[in-house]
Amino acid sequence: MKAVLPDDLRDIFSKAGYLSSWYQYFKAGDWLVLLLGCALVVFSYTLLWRGGVADRAIVKRDGKTVIEISLNSARKISVDGPLGTTVIEVQPGRARVFSDPGPRQYCVQQGWLTRAGAVAICAPNHITLQLNGSGEAGYDSLNY
Amino acid sequence: MTPLTIELPITEDDRRIARYTAAAIALTVAEAALPSPLPGIKPGLANIIVLVVLLRYGWRDAAWVSLLRVVAGSLVIGQLFAPGFFLALAGAVSSLAALFIAVQLPRRWFGAVTISLCAAFAHIGGQLVLARLWLVPHDGVFYLVPLFATAALIFGTINGLIAAHLIKRAHAG
């Protein structure tokens, strides 16, 4: 080992320090920088993953908006597509595809959508359900 | 015909840089074997070596070790000139820029942890800029920023602590 490794690296393999002694390596400014780093991380979460507050559900057929409703009250909407009727259920703060005539039922199995930018696509019936937030258009979950 | 002999003088600096670079490459290879929850989230163990070199021998040596490590390390793991190589290079260049500034901070108040954190955040910053400009020309990459920032915070701190520990032991022994 001695010939291969620089001498100050050798001991990382031979000795593990006590966990409690690590704090001695923090200098006053390090805590400040660590705090700033934590703030930066929290800020990035709130800025980029805020998505959360969805307030509108948009139902489209063939890319054209059929109905746009706010997520304030509970109701069901029926939209007709080439295969039959897709039923969208809206409740305060969330929406889902309640039923769909499509063969694989992907959009139904997706369940409740709560985040702004979330989309359920019932491709066979040409219908999409999308949630939007109040601010700028959220990130598109499909392109993540 | 006269025999032509080219002799490259090897200085003590070269040997030292080569030894540290070898250690950094070994860590790169070891790390490539670790599973990662998301491509790009790695502990960056080789950066511990760069930090130690920076604090003991200065920025010039650290830059040599860091850049040699990227080139030789990706050669070893078969990534040379693959997208991952350019991402690693972008990360290394931007963190070297951050190290250049961070190492000027008063050492009395700011230790290895500060320097490591600066480098870690600069590293993901540089990678994200390159990824956004070249690999994923879509704002969707920024969706991953919180994850990368979290990784930078955790691994930056840990790597800084390990570097501080190594330097202290080197001075003690």
Secondary structure letter of residue B133 according to DSSP: I
A108 and A37, same domain (yes or no): no
Q: How many domains does chain A have?
A: 2
Assess whether A66 and A118 both reside in one domain: yes
For residues A97 and A122, membership in a common domain is answered with yes
Both A65 and A43 in one domain: the answer is no
From chain B, the residues in CB contact with A6 under 8 A are 16, 19-20, 23
In a domain, B120, yes or no: yes
Domain annotation covers residue A58:
yes
Please state whether beta strands A127-133 and A54-61 pair in parallel, antiparallel, or not at all (unpaired).
antiparallel
Q: How far is A79 from chain B (nearest CA, A)?
A: 31
Q: B58: number of CA atoms within 13 Å, CB side?
A: 2
Q: Can you state the angle between helices A7-14 and B145-172, rounded to 10 degrees?
A: 110
Residue A4: pLDDT band with limits 50, 70, 90? low
Residues A113 and A94 in one domain: yes
Structural domain includes residue A142: no
The DSSP string of A91-105 is ETTEEEEEE---SS-
Domain with B112 in it: what CATH number?
1.10.1760
Domain of A92, in residue numbers = 54-133
First vs last C-alpha separation in chain A: 46
Whether the per-residue pLDDT at A1 is higher than 50: the answer is: no
Contacts of B156 in chain A (CB under 8 A): 37
- Look at residue A41 and tell me if it is in a domain: yes
For B127-169, how does the pLDDT look when each residue is reduced to its tens digit (9 = 90+)?
A: 999 998 988 776 767 878 899 999 999 999 999 999 999 998 8
Claim to verify: residue A60 and residue A43 sit in the same structural domain = no
Helix (H, G, I), strand (E, B) or coil at A6: coil
What is this model's ipTM?
0.88
Chain A residues whose CB is inside 8 A of the B150 CB are 41
State the residue for tokens 């805020």.
Answer: A50
Give the pLDDT confidence score for residue A144 in this predicted structure.
44
CATH number, domain containing residue A64: 2.60.320.10
pLDDT for residue A138? 46
Residue B130 in domain: yes
Which residue range forms the structural domain that includes residue B122?
Answer: 15-30+41-172
Contact assessment for residue B67 and residue B95, using Cβ atoms and an 8 Å cutoff: no
Quote the mean pLDDT of chain A: 80
* Cβ count near A86 (within 10 Å): 29
How far apart are the C-alpha atoms of A20 and B12, rounded to whole Å? 38
Across the interface, of A27, A33, A143, the residue whose CB is closest to B138 is A143
Answer whether residue A139 is part of any domain: no
Q: Taking 70 as the threshold, does the pLDDT of residue A20 lie above it?
A: no
**Which amino acid, B45?**
L
